[in-house]
Amino acid sequence: MERDEGIYMSKNGQFTYQAVSDFLKGKLSRRETSELLQVRERTVTRMARRIEKKGLFGVVHGNRERAPSNKKSGVFKSDVMKLVEDKYFDFNMTHCLEILKEAHGLEIKYATFRRWCHSRHLVKRRKRGKGVARNRRVRMPNEGLLLQMDGSPHRYNGKDEWCLIAAIDDATSDIPYAEFFLSEDTINCMTVMQKIIEKKGIPYAIYVDQAGCLGGGKRSHFNQFRRACDELGIRIIFASSPEAKGRIERTWDTFQDRIIPEMRIRNIHRMPAANDYLQNQFIPNYWKKRNTVVPKDLESRYKPVPPIIDLREIFCLKEHRAVKADHTLSWEGTIYQLESPLKYSIRGQKIEFRTYQDLSWRSFFADKPIHLQIVEKPTRVNLAA
């Protein structure tokens, strides 16, 4: 969070302010800014006017922290949802609203009722309609503005299923980093993103699918990859279809078509050798020479990593455990005793456990390392023996 003359700004607000500021400076077009912020171009114009007039305050909505005048009470909501759950659970929302109005005299807006039903999983799945026409998306003007990231499971060595995780720059089609893994999980996606940042810098935004390991779907509020990107100010944009991130999807076709036979004639069957060939031969000698393009603007938009930031401490799994009254806590089935010079009780406070990519871990309190000692469990005596 940043503070400016009494205003607190979220990471999302900071990203919005930075993007609109770049638009005002002429570094981004209105279309490019709207795509990064996932809003309409008219909204970008309105944001720009507010920021020109009010500065940082232009990002904050005027109704912030104000309760809506037409907000329904909690008791009203509970009564309505109980009625729906007990009697109208198999109605579609439009039908249910009609019944609530006619039979019970309850007036509720469709959007409000829809939100209430979604929160309790009472929405019937809509019938699949016809697909919508999609227009070709123009490339971003600068490298580093938008990366498309994805994983592709396949039998690359002819027998074992590996997952190739990579990112492609939307402006140049350059692949800053790619690596074979056994699966597409949180740690492996973090590894790829860390390698990209170490090599090129911090990208403006990344475009990904709705995979849970990337923070999509139900894991949007407790995902480690999303938390790490948020700490670095990287905007994650979720694609609603494979076609939306077609550049990385078409990359997989080329990779599978060329890498599999190339590895076969080179007798490459193990993952370390496959990664060596991929990173040191295939990408630099074929991909960069044959498939990359020159961006419209040669200025790189990758941001340098601030010296105070240790990427290892960001791209790790962070979990918290509460301290008990006797200064012990439990983690991964083991009880630990705090060994610290603290002169006061920290009962109820949270100890942070960080699991790194090499599966080692450390514990922290108030962002400072704290030592833990394993509490040995007493051996039970078998009297029956």
- HEC per residue, 326-345: CCEEEECCEEEEEECCCCCC
- pLDDT score recorded for residue 3: 44
CA distance 53 to 14: 17
CA distance 205 to 36: 7
What type of residue sits at position 67?
Answer: A
CA distance 12 to 184: 26
Distance linking the first and last C-alpha atoms of the chain? 62
- pLDDT score recorded for residue 176: 94
Residue 251 pLDDT greater than 60, yes or no? yes
Report which of residues 28 and 243 the model is more confident about.
28
- pLDDT score recorded for residue 4: 45
- pLDDT score recorded for residue 221: 65
Q: Which two tokens stand for residue 19?
A: 């993007």
Residue 175 pLDDT greater than 90, yes or no? yes
- pLDDT score recorded for residue 14: 85
pTM > 0.75: yes or no: no
- pLDDT score recorded for residue 158: 84
- For residue 117, count other CB atoms closer than 10 A to its CB: 20
Residue 133 pLDDT greater than 70, yes or no? no
Residues contacting 169, CB < 8 A, separation 6+: 143, 144, 146, 147, 175, 176
Rg (the chain; Cα; Å): 26
CA distance 211 to 217: 7
Residue 162 pLDDT greater than 80, yes or no? yes
Give the pLDDT mean for 236-250.
80
Average pLDDT, the chain: 85
**Which band of pLDDT confidence, cut at 50, 70 and 90, is reported for residue 129?**
low
- pLDDT score recorded for residue 7: 60
**Which band of pLDDT confidence, cut at 50, 70 and 90, is reported for residue 125?**
low
Give the pLDDT mean for 8-36.
86
Q: Which two tokens stand for residue 367?
A: 């962002």
Question: b/e for 191-200, b at 16 or more Cβ within 10 A?
Answer: bbbbbbbeeb
Count helices and strands (H / E) in the chain. 12, 14
- pLDDT score recorded for residue 218: 65
**Which band of pLDDT confidence, cut at 50, 70 and 90, is reported for residue 1?**
very low
CA distance 170 to 142: 9
The DSSP symbol for 244 reads G
Taking only the tens place, the pLDDT of each residue in 84-115 is 888 887 777 888 888 888 888 888 888 888 88
CA distance 323 to 319: 13
* Helix ranges restricted to H, 109-165: 110-119
